């Protein structure tokens, strides 16, 4: 394997430990971003198999398809941009200069001095096609997401063009947990890579672990736009959601009609979706999901989502019990087993904090700092797993 083909070597060698964080030793290599874009589909399948064997990371972004909908001068500017592989999104707002935002950088970069005109927005809208009820659209055959901002009269006055990337090999950050067949909830701010990880997990579970996987794909973010899902999800099946408000119904329909072993759902955010998750988990189906929030404490404090981690109730202790615990008589307790036994805070794309949900919630409710597992990549791109670290997040 030549040095010209690969940017750097990645040795994944986490230390051995006992449940609930088992480890697995792997070695592999990292391909530079964008290297895979022009390869035909059979080569992509071969690369996915090679990624399983060697653990290297490959990125496919199909960015040329996104550039085609932009104004011509903006297109040319970004086509020659040396940081194109780190492009996160392009902002087109009426009466303002077009702006590009890049991964790992605060703020953005203006792409020209002239402001965006109404004609340019209309041309971009025509190139994209129809927007859904959630004001999102995609480019067929790609993973890019286009979101619209409308005026009070319903006209589009702004567009956020986010780059969608298929990543092969990044799942090694969490592969050992997938082997446990336990449900996992991912938290993280927008842009940290939650949906990208969902996509890769779907492929690994379906193609490598041979599970029956169904993706409940609201806004077509995981499987891409169009009726034929993107090759990045492998053999996983995809159920589209007609409206975001119906996501919980499609989740239940997936279990009742298609007998999945794994259900993958992005952006759990309503009480109905929370109840659907609990119903699915109680039927013995593995759930992989994401939720709104950056840390476990955000979920515990959120009355809509707290049931995902077991829920919280107030308990009144007797005098003897309160003295024995050295606490007040009214305390907070977890009221049920968590829907997701594992919870991962994605602080950065390559810095994750892993909780054993039941233990972490109990300790936070008692005012203590739980022990967690930190997964990260160092300067040499090695995955380093630090076990039983004291949690650095906020308490309850």
Strand order in the sheet with 136-138: 109-110, 99-102, 87-93, 156-162, 145-150, 136-138
Cβ proximity of 13 and 25 under 8 Å:
yes
Report d(CA 337, CA 33) in Å as an integer.
41
Sign of CA dihedral 308, 198, 193, 251: negative
Choose the weakest-confidence range: 35-39, 103-107, 173-177: 35-39
Taken in order of first residue, the domains within the chain and their CATH numbers are: 50-162 (3.30.450.90), 169-390 (3.40.50.300)
Per the CB < 8 A criterion, the answer to whether 87 and 160 are in contact is no
**What mean pLDDT do residues 92-119 have?**
94
CA distances from 294 to 55, 68, 165, 188, 300 (A): 28, 34, 22, 4, 12
Task: Read off the pLDDT of residues 358-395 as tens digits, 9 standing for 90 and up.
Answer: 999 999 998 899 999 999 988 777 788 999 999 998 76
Mind listing the pLDDT tens digit for each residue in 243-298? 889 999 999 999 999 999 999 999 999 999 999 999 999 999 999 999 989 999 99
Q: What confidence tens digit (pLDDT) does each residue in 256-269 have?
A: 999 999 999 999 99
Please write the tens of the pLDDT for every residue from 188-239. Answer: 998 888 998 999 999 999 999 999 999 999 888 899 988 999 989 999 999 9
Closest CA to 369 of 394, 334, 338: 394
Rounded mean pLDDT of the chain? 84
> What pLDDT score does 324 carry?
76
Is the bond leading into 20 cis (omega within 30 degrees of zero)?
Answer: yes
CA dihedral of residues 121, 143, 377, 343 (deg, nearest 10)? 100
- pLDDT the model gives residue 167: 76
Report the pLDDT averaged over residues 49-65. 61
What pTM, to 2 d.p., does this model score? Answer: 0.80
> 302-327, pLDDT tens digit by residue?
999 999 999 999 888 777 777 777 77
Q: Is 86 helix (H, G, I), strand (E, B) or coil?
A: helix
Phi and psi dihedrals of 225, rounded to 5?
-80, 155
Q: Which residue has the higher pLDDT, 126 or 47?
A: 126
Rounded distance between C-alpha atoms, residue 108 and residue 101, angstroms = 5
C-beta separation of 77 from 111 below 8 A: yes
């Amino acid at each position: 394997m030549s040095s010209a083909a690969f940017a750097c070597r990645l040795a994944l060698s986490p230390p051995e430990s006992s449940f609930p964080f088992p480890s697995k030793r792997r070695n592999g290599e990292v391909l530079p971003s964008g290297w895979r874009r022009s390869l035909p589909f059979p080569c992509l399948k071969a690369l996915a198999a090679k990624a399983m064997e060697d653990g290297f990371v490959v990125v496919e972004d199909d960015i040329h398809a996104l550039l085609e909908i932009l104004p011509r001068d903006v297109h040319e500017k970004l086509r020659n941009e040396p940081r194109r592989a780190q492009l996160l999104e392009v902002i087109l707002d009426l009466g303002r200069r077009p702006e590009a935002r890049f991964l790992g950088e605060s703020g953005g970069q203006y792409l020209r001095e002239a402001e965006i005109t109404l004609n340019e927005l209309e041309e971009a809208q025509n190139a994209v096609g129809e927007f859904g009820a959630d004001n999102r659209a995609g480019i067929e055959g790609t993973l890019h997401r286009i979101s619209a901002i409308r005026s009070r009269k319903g006209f589009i006055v702004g567009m956020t063009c986010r780059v969608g990337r298929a990543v092969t090999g990044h799942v090694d950050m969490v592969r050992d947990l997938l082997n446990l067949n336990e449900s996992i909830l991912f938290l993280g701010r927008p842009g940290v890579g939650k949906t990208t990880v969902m996509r890769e997990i779907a492929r690994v579970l379906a193609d490598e672990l041979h599970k029956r996987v169904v993706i409940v794909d609201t806004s077509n973010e995981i499987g891409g736009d169009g009726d034929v899902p993107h090759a990045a999800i492998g053999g996983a099946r995809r159920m589209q959601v007609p409206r975001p408000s119906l996501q919980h119904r499609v989740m239940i329909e997936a279990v009742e009609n298609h007998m999945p072993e794994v259900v993958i759902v992005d952006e759990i955010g309503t009480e109905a979706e929370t109840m659907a998750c609990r119903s699915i988990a109680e039927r013995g189906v593995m759930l992989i999901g994401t939720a709104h929030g950056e840390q476990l404490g955000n979920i515990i404090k959120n009355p809509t989502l707290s049931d995902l981690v077991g829920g919280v109730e107030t308990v009144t202790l007797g005098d003897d019990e309160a003295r024995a615990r050295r606490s007040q008589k009214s305390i907070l307790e977890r009221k049920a087993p968590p829907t997701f036994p594992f919870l991962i805070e994605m602080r950065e794309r390559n810095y994750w904090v892993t909780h054993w949900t039941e233990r972490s919630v109990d300790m936070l409710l008692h005012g203590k700092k739980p022990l967690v597992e930190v997964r990260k990549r160092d300067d040499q791109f090695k995955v380093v797993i630090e076990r039983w670290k004291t949690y650095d997040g906020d308490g309850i």
